[in-house]
Structure 1
Amino acid sequence: MRDANGAGSLARLGSGGVMPVLRETLHDRVYAELRRSLIHGVFVSGEALRIHDLAVKLNTSTMPVREALARLVSEQALEALPNRSVRVPVITRETLEDLARARVLIEGKVTALALPRLGPEDFRRLRDLTHECEDAFHSRSDDSIRRATELNHAFHDHIYRAAGSRVLLPMIESLWLQSGPYVHAAAFLHDEARDPAGTHHHWELIEALERRDEAGATAALTRDITRAFSLLRNRLDTEEEEARAGQHG
């Protein structure tokens, strides 16, 4: 499995799934690893992140961890609490709707920009990533779901980088950073027996890109993005109904 920087290892240190960091470029590497972990769902919604624990897992001192967490708070990927601790934001309906809307708008535009720049080698790569994602998703373990999440990110990242936009790509990366816990949570809500395959819309998107069908590609991407958010929306609806029933019971 490869992340956006081309790293191929799935090795993790500690129960949090965070890889150790070498000391050569410590501050940037700590930030990059925590950022990667958030995008790929290593940390879950509502999870408190403790500086000392992360420093141990990353094999570093507390200072670069503290600075990285502050940076991620400023990027709205984490939230600071009154007791000076930091946590992954709790999933809310308001943020869910806001992220879904922003991702559809920006990622749809970047997909349209990428379409004429993609060639046969790119399509082969997208197919390989989708096959790998299917294999990982079918296993349904915590590790395989995390791997499927990473492969899903690699799939979309390959398309977006083809667009060559230095302005829009950082916006997408920010949205993925905030969406990581949502996407990961949605993966566990997916029911293979009831729902379409998790990669169903990837195949639709690849076919539309090969046809140079901009409208079709944008529509397939929109369905792919909104699928995960719809699963979470349905879960929130169920929880609210159960809470109301409990109050009247």
Structure 2
Amino acid sequence: MRKDADIPAQGDDALSPVGRETLHDRVYAQLRQSLINGLFDAGDVLRIVDLADRLQTSTMPVREALGRLVSEQALESLPNRSVRVPLITRARLDDLARARILIEGQMVALALPNLTVDDFKVLKQINVDCDLAFEQHGKDIGRVTSALNQRFHFHIYHAARSQVLIPIVESLWLQSGAIIRKAAHIHDEQGGLAATNHHWALIDALERRDPAGALQSLSDDISRSFNLIRGRLEMAPGTAGDEVRHG
């Protein structure tokens, strides 16, 4: 028989303390998602104490999470035992672009026969939201549009129903977050074609069940972001066109 003291009073949250393993996983998941969404810029140094303060947790789960992210090549270690978001280099751009087009192209091909009318409604709404975000500009443009861009692509990729390929795609996006954020800022500065024009072309090809057209639209979409960064690399003073930081 339970004592009255064991029964939560009405209105109490009745939440149990977060276990060590759960807390570590949650800290890792939040930092991982922040990197995918481009919350951090290339070259940003991530300090354990600062992150622990922002996440309102101890330093141990943050240290463990950063170690995992270093092993996933999303972050790189520095000699002073801190870590940073990798600098954007031409070699890294080329390597990531090739890998993303290859793997994500396969995801699109697998997803194509599984996409429904409801899926296309979702994809179109995400595009509308993204266009509105670009029209409003603002300092959070990179973060907002990066998150919408991720929602768009992963809605398609989950339709591929591949438990093996999804983690691979997530790893590539984890390494590309700062690049996509930077590209969004450059696009916002330069203007030109709508940022989602390749997304609309991709939707059109998927609705027509055209795998070749869908792959071309995906390739164009991925390449545009990377090409924007390449152009900035060539213009960046003092880098010899080899690397660029945030800003």
TM-score under structure 1 length normalisation: 0.86
**1:1-249 residue pairs with structure 2 within 5 A?**
23=18, 25-191=22-188, 194-239=191-236
Deviation at 1:142, TM superposition (A): 2.2
Q: Deviation at 1:23? A: 3.9
CA contact (8 A) 1:111 1:218 kept: yes
Kindly indicate whether structure 1 or structure 2 has the higher relative contact order, using CA contacts under 8 Å at least 6 residues apart: 2
Rg bigger for which structure?
A: 2
Extract unaligned runs of 5+ from structure 2: 1-16, 242-247
The amino acid that maps onto 1:212 is R
Give runs of ≥4 in structure 1 deviating > 3 Å.
Answer: 191-194, 240-244
Give the superposition deviation at 1:143: 1.8
Could you list the runs of 5+ residues in structure 1 that have no partner in the other structure?
1-21, 245-249
In the alignment of these two chains, the number of paired residues is 223
Q: Aligned partners of 1:23, 1:143: CA distance in 2, in Å?
A: 32
Deviation string 1:186-211 (CA, Å, 9 cap, x unpaired) is: 11111576521110101000010000
Report the Cα offset of residue 237 of structure 1: 1.1
Give the corresponding residue for 1:5: none
| Structure 1 residue 220, shift from structure 2 partner | 0.3
- Displacement of 1:177 in angstroms is 0.1
Amino acid at match of 1:148: T
SS in 2 for 1:83: coil
Contact 2:73–2:175 under 8 Å retained in 1: yes
Question: Which is further off, 23-32 or 48-57?
Answer: 23-32
Cα RMSD between the aligned structures?
1.7
How far, CA to CA, are the matches of 2:57 and 2:18 in structure 1? 8
CA distance in structure 2 between the partners assigned to 1:87 and 1:134 by the alignment: 31
